[in-house]
């Protein structure tokens, strides 16, 4: 396992804002506002996941603050995960494309876009009802996702085979499956194979079963769905254990997040560091690389940078 770090990150952000994908137990957030005190709905940066009204999460407000334009920190993350998945797919040379999963996408499409050329399916595993509705509308709109995501796709297309995929909007519609469940639920079994009612229906048939996916992502989720470290650790464990042994994964985290506010509503966080991520993933995975971005934390107040981790799922 390796741990790398860019330039030192400051403990204060230069701008208010938010970055956490949202969704009870699953949607990943990367926002926060340490300047907001108290809690509007059982929050602050304390409390457990169930204390918060995730179905009331304002997905569009979150997208507008975090992903209306491509930020330098997201560019760094995109380059890392693009190169990681490209190398992993070439090294593994699977007979068919991956069955992939993005845990807690919230209102963020770029983890799924990073998996797109290598996947025969992408399960978007999301708890928040408002986020599921947003994902359905964004992905399955008549003309596909909106133009703001083109900047993100352009970064991916700097590397083969992304630029060979002429219609990413069409391809995402073909492979995306929405599943409304929580990463904190106990792993279950597939009750009816293929029982998602229709593309984007949100009618999932699975809890997060073990050793079921070939590749996975989880961005700004585990540390941002609770103020309880035990729930954070359980979310990471359930994510990694949902992957088949040796499956490549990428996970992103807000560093030392103090919680976040979306459209006036407060949500929690666990103030983790790269050491927490390294220790936890070291027990669950191999070839783990944990990196702190060398980008000043300017998205909002109340965090100290972003962490990106890659690795291979262990035999858990």
Query: Which positions ≥6 away from 174 have C-beta within 8 Å?
Result: none
CA 59 to CA 227: how far, in whole Å? 21
* pLDDT tier, 188 (very low <50, low <70, confident <90, very high otherwise): low
Q: Tokens in use for 201?
A: 């229906």
CA distance 297 to 12: 7
Q: How far is CA 228 from CA 43, 45, 141, 231, 295, in A?
A: 12, 9, 37, 6, 27
Q: Which among 290, 301, 247 is positioned nearest to 3, based on CA atoms?
A: 290
| Beta bridge partners of residue 126, listed in sequence order | 180
- Report the chain's mean pLDDT, rounded to a whole number: 84
Confidence of residue 12 (pLDDT cuts 50, 70, 90): very low
DSSP-H helix ranges across 97-218: 110-115, 129-139, 150-156, 168-175
- Among 12-26, 29-43, 63-77, 259-273, whose mean pLDDT is lowest? 29-43
8 Å CB contact between 280 and 273: no
Number of domains observed in the structure of the chain: 1
265 neighbors 38 (Cβ within 8 angstroms): no
* H or E stretch covering 6: none
The domain in which residue 88 lies consists of 2-313
pLDDT tens, residue by residue, 254-268: 999 999 999 999 999
Q: How much is the pLDDT for 187?
A: 59
Beta bridge partners of 100: 122, 215
Report the pLDDT value the prediction gives residue 20, as an integer from 0 to 100: 54
Average pLDDT over residues 185-195: 48
Mean pLDDT of all residues in 60-77: 97
C-alpha of 310 from chain center: 13
Q: How many C-beta atoms lie closer than 10 Å to residue 189's C-beta?
A: 10
**243 secondary structure, DSSP code:** B
Residue 27: pLDDT above 50? no
310 vs 10: CA distance, rounded Å? 23
The domain spanning residue 214 has which CATH number?
3.40.50.150
Q: What is the mean pLDDT of residues 150-155?
A: 99
Of 4-8, 98-102, 134-138, 153-157, the poorest mean pLDDT is in 4-8
Per-residue pLDDT tens for 271-289? Answer: 999 999 999 999 999 999 9
Strands 285-292 and 215-219: unpaired
What pLDDT does residue 15 have?
Answer: 32
Residue 19: pLDDT band (50, 70, 90) is low
What would the pLDDT profile of 212-233 be if each residue is shown by its tens digit? 999 999 999 999 999 999 999 9
């Amino acid at each position: 396992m390796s741990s790398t770090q860019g330039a030192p990150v400051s403990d204060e952000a230069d701008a208010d804002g938010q970055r956490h994908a949202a969704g009870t137990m699953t949607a990943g957030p990367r926002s926060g506002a340490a300047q907001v005190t108290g809690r509007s709905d059982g929050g602050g940066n304390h409390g457990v996941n169930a204390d918060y009204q995730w179905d009331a999460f304002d997905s569009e407000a979150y997208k507008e603050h975090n992903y209306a334009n491509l930020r330098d920190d997201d560019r760094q993350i995109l380059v890392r995960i693009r190169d990681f998945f490209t190398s992993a797919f070439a090294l593994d040379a699977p007979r068919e494309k991956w069955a992939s999963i993005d845990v807690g996408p919230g209102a963020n499409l770029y983890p799924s876009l990073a998996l797109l050329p290598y996947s025969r399916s992408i399960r978007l595993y999301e708890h928040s009802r408002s986020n599921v509705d947003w994902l359905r509308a964004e992905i399955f709109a008549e003309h596909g996702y909106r133009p703001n995501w083109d900047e993100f796709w352009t970064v991916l297309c700097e590397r083969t085979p992304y630029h060979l995929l002429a219609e990413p909007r069409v391809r995402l519609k073909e492979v995306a499956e929405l599943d409304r469940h929580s990463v904190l639920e106990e792993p279950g079994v597939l009750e009816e194979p293929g029982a998602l009612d229709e593309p984007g229906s949100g009618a999932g048939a699975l809890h997060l079963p073990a050793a079921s996916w070939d590749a996975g992502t989880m961005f700004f989720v585990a540390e941002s769905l609770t103020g309880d470290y035990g729930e954070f650790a359980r979310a990471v464990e359930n994510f990694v254990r949902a992957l088949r042994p040796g499956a490549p994964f990428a996970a992103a985290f807000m560093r030392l997040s103090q919680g976040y506010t979306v459209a006036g509503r407060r949500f929690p966080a666990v103030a983790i560091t790269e050491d927490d991520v390294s220790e936890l993933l070291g027990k669950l995975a191999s070839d783990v690389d944990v990196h702190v971005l060398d980008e000043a934390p300017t998205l909002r107040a109340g965090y100290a940078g972003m962490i990106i981790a890659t690795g291979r799922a262990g035999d858990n």
